Amino acid sequence: MALLADGVSRLLIDGKLTSGGAGAFVTVNPATEEVLGEAADADAADMDRAIGAARRAFDETDWSTNTELRVRCVRQLRDAMREHVEELRDLTIADVGAPRMLTAGAQLEGPIADLSFAADTAEGYEWTQDLGQASPLGIPTRRSVVREAVGVVGAITPWNFPHQINLAKLGPALAAGNTVVLKPAPDTPWVAAVLGELIAEHTDIPAGVVNIVTSTDHALGAMLAKDPRVDMVSFTGSTATGRSVMADAAATIKKVFLELGGKSAFVVLDDADLAAACSVAGFSACVHAGQGCAITTRLVVPRARYDEAVAIAAGTMGSIKPGDPSKPGTVCGPVISARQRDRVQSYLDLAITEGGSFACGGGRPADQPAGFFIEPTVIAGLTNDARVAREEIFGPVLTVIAHDGDDDAVRIANDSPYGLSATVYGADSQRAAGVAARLRAGTVNVNGGVWYSADVPFGGYKQSGIGREMGTAGFEEYLEIKAIATAAN
């Protein structure tokens, strides 16, 4: 059966695909501005039902203790997505504006494959650790440490890499024994809702274990953070919204995972191949129109070669033309919405106000009359104190900043409220590794190394978040630890 065959997505609540209490809302292709179809628009009553279903499924079934069932179900979801991968690819390109080339990686096929890691981790995990016998306070005691599911997880996800983020939460949360209510961004409802179809029709996941609630009402996310029936909130999105989630969750002292913003630095040392480094930085800033929290958007280069670095980055970015994401060679597609395009443009206008200049780009491409496109843009002439160098823009924008040696480069890179990712390029690998070790960031790429992988934890320092997603650390975010002490006779 074709996915979303009638052009309308539905909620998944308590095992049933259903319409939304608030009706439906239109979803738009960001590359063409054409209407794709409709998505179910949930209301507060729908969210209340979803939370109740998740609570019952956790409390009244053996889901949390039946590891064999959970592993099988996660693998079934993986296999169902693989069987429908070409439909999912076309849907992702249309709903997200994701370039086709990225669907072979982090926009689709990578996250599907990563479900294997979640299932394999659960299957081989040491759920009980025997600490042996001891005599604390003189009492012979057998001790063990048990790891078990947190409970009901509220997952709130953004629109930029929706498959990756939805599955990076669902996979480990389910494999660890939790039940989940997923509230995806309204900008990309279809890629989340289609999981509901696949779960309901192609897996043995029991009713209520996964609930998917699409809605234009952002207050429904706050319901997850506030509701005492929810044991944990896993949120990916802006730092400002993360603060609200954390504040709402504080009332019930529930566990919170936050993966938030970034303003990551690409540090070029004075012994680096400047042409190679600045070309990589320019290309990276254009991928998916710069809509990635870990994309390096500050290019920090030796002052003596500043103009040369700007010219190289501008040469690369100026040659990358925003275009149709369905075409195989497109690197830079549209941003997600007219609202986001206007937001990016406001930062470009601000760059000029702050005294900067554009080495390339600076506005909307003249050859794209429709779609939410922004030209790849290099901003020159500003310091790290400028707002465009400090705030997350989420567009194909690279700000070039001069440094006066390694210590200054580290200072600039770390002079940010964020600490999500970073890159270091230098000919002397030991020197580059030494700089990388001093950076306050959760992931660091040295000379082109790739940190993105299912077994590598991802997350940041400072206002980039709390906790880690992916890897064993990401799996264990969804576990509680219980110590059991039994008197030994």
Q: CA-to-CA distance for 196 and 34, rounded, in angstroms?
A: 24
Between CA 478 and CA 419 the distance in angstroms is 23
Cα–Cα distance measured from residue 165 to residue 97, given in angstroms and rounded to the nearest whole number: 16
What are the C-alpha distances in Å from 438 to residues 309, 316, 327, 444, 463? 23, 29, 41, 10, 18
Give the β-pairing of 264-268 and 296-302.
parallel
Phi and psi at residue 241, in whole multiples of 5°? -70, -35
Question: What DSSP designation does 216 have?
Answer: S
Helices (H), 382-447: 387-390, 406-414, 429-437
CB-based contact 230:224 (threshold 8 Å): yes
Q: Looking up tokens 């880690």, which residue turns up?
A: 468
Is 259 assigned a catalytic role?
Answer: yes
The CA distance from 442 to 181, in Å, is 27
d(CA 377, CA 310): 11
CA distances to 12, 20, 109, 232 from 153, rounded to whole Å, are 15, 21, 25, 5
38, 109, 197, 259: the active-site residue: 259
Active-site annotation, residues: 259
